[in-house]
Structure 1
Amino acid sequence: MKEYRAFLLGQDGHIFDAAGFEASDDEDALQKAQSLVDGCDVEIWQLARKVGAIRAVANGLASEGRPKDESLRAEQARQVAEEYANDQRGIIKKLRKPQN
């Protein structure tokens, strides 16, 4: 199983939530991410590689499913994205170290 992340995008295109999950391959990851499309667009990533995106129907964007405190959710999403980026930087540093 491979690790994937799904980033939920608000109407403004900014991340407001993220979810990590495991899938056997990209197709399985895209199918699993379908359940997250609740009136918002979802991007699916494996490490630093974008696997794909699922777009919500334009007229199907529902306001009842939106977070009540968008600024708090936006800050949480920023923190998740920052942690993910830091993880990736750590992996890159390890890969760049010369092997003795």
Structure 2
Amino acid sequence: MGPVKHYRAFQIDPDGRVFGCINIVCGDDEEAKRQAASLVLLHRIELWRLDKRIAQFDQSSAIVPH
């Protein structure tokens, strides 16, 4: 198994405030994006690695450019 990377998936409410955070550990950005996209229920998800935003997902599970 290769090196793992640590990500955070922040749950964002309709007013743009963070109300939750889910830690994701996986091998690369693409796997992290798939996992984060699966977390979208009613609120937007922002996926971060360290201080870099990797992707943003909304209810349609489409990647929103940052």
Q: TM-score normalised by the shorter chain: which range applies?
A: 0.7 to 0.9
RMSD over aligned CA atoms reads 0.9
Please identify the structure whose Cα radius of gyration is greater. 1
* Corresponding residue to 1:23 among 18, 26, 37: 26
> For the residues of structure 2 that align with 1:20 and 1:29, how far apart are their CA atoms?
10
> For the residues of structure 2 that align with 1:3 and 1:18, how far apart are their CA atoms?
13
Match of 1:84 in 2: none
For each residue in 1:77-96, what CA deviation from the matched residue of structure 2 results, as whole angstroms up to 9, or x when unmatched?
xxxxxxxxxxxxxxxxxxxx
- Secondary structure in structure 2 of the residue aligned to 1:56: coil
5+ residue gaps, structure 2: 61-66
- Percent sequence identity is 33
> For the residues of structure 1 that align with 2:26 and 2:17, how far apart are their CA atoms?
25
What's the TM-score, normalizing by structure 2?
0.80
Q: Does 1:55 align with 2:53?
A: no
Structure holding more strand per residue: 2
**1:1-20 equivalences in 2 (<5 Å):** 1-20=4-23
5+ residue gaps, structure 1: 58-100
* Segments ≥4 residues shifted beyond 4 Å: none
Structure holding more helix per residue: 1
Q: Does 1:36 align with 2:28?
A: no
What's the TM-score, normalizing by structure 1?
0.54
- Secondary structure in structure 2 of the residue aligned to 1:13: coil
Higher relative contact order (CA 8 A, sep 6+): 2
